[in-house]
Chain A
């Protein structure tokens, strides 16, 4: 069945770049997403990429997609303490806009 995997923790120093990785299994996914969850809140869409693209840049965020290896990454440049959160990778499957989420990567930013 469909599965999305990502590492659970990442710790970076403030000002460094963070790279969060994700692998997925459904090659028919049209869109892949990154959601962010801040403490005590629900998830919010951070960015997404269409499956026929291999890169998307949005200010400090860069998404890379390697469709052959089914690998997705999110790079956050100049990471700030406000970026501390859980980041979820998700792929769209089937109809009704269903998403399959990874376990989430908890990003800790330290001075």
Chain B
């Protein structure tokens, strides 16, 4: 069974803090993704990575950065958390091949910034 785990289910941080969200997958997938989920907006892609040390911006990268030093781990960093970054953050992974490819999701981290 593919497993994608996220470091925390719930996180509360203060405005201006640096926040790290970690994601680990155990299926040797090439691609990893970070989304944020907000009611009425669905999932929006923040960043994705297609290989170690490789990253691409998604639709809403402002205020975020990422790190992928090992194939199984993809970190999302909020350099200076703000209240508008309060959201559910979902990590996903998939193989790198074309055709029909399933993205496997972690359970999510609900981040509250006060």
Q: Is the CB of A104 within 8 A of B42?
A: yes
The answer on a CB contact under 8 Å between B43 and A42 is no
Which residues of the partner chain B approach A92 to less than 8 Å between Cβ atoms?
A: 101
A43 in contact with B105 (CB, 8 Å): yes
B61: min CB distance to chain A, Å: 14
Complex Cα spacing A8 to B38, Å: 12
A82 interface contact, C-beta 8 A: no
Interface size on B, residues (CB 8 A): 28
User: Which partner residue on chain A sits nearest B97 by CB separation?
Assistant: A97
| Contact across chains for A42 and B40 when beta carbons are under 8 A apart | no
The prevalent SS among residues of A at the interface is strand
Is B31 in contact with chain A by the CB < 8 A criterion? yes
Give chain B residues whose Cβ lies under 8 Å from the Cβ of A41: 107-108
* A61 contacts the other chain (CB 8 A): no
Taking a contact as CB atoms under 8 Å apart, the answer to whether B106 and A42 are in contact is yes
Residue of B nearest to A8 (CB): B40
**B31-50 Cβ-contact flags toward A at 8 Å (1 or 0):** 10101000011111100101
Q: How far is the CA of A110 from the CA of B96 in the complex (A)?
A: 41
Residues in chain A near residue B92, CB distance under 8 A? 42-43
CA A43 to CA B37, docked complex, whole Å: 11
CB-CB nearest in chain B for A5: B42
Q: Can you identify 13 A-B contacts, CB atoms within 8 angstroms? A: A41-B107, A42-B92, A42-B106, A42-B107, A43-B105, A88-B42, A97-B94, A97-B95, A100-B45, A101-B35, A101-B44, A103-B42, A104-B42
List B residues at the A interface (Cβ < 8 Å). 4, 31, 33, 35, 40-45, 48, 50, 56, 90, 92, 94-96, 98-103, 105-108
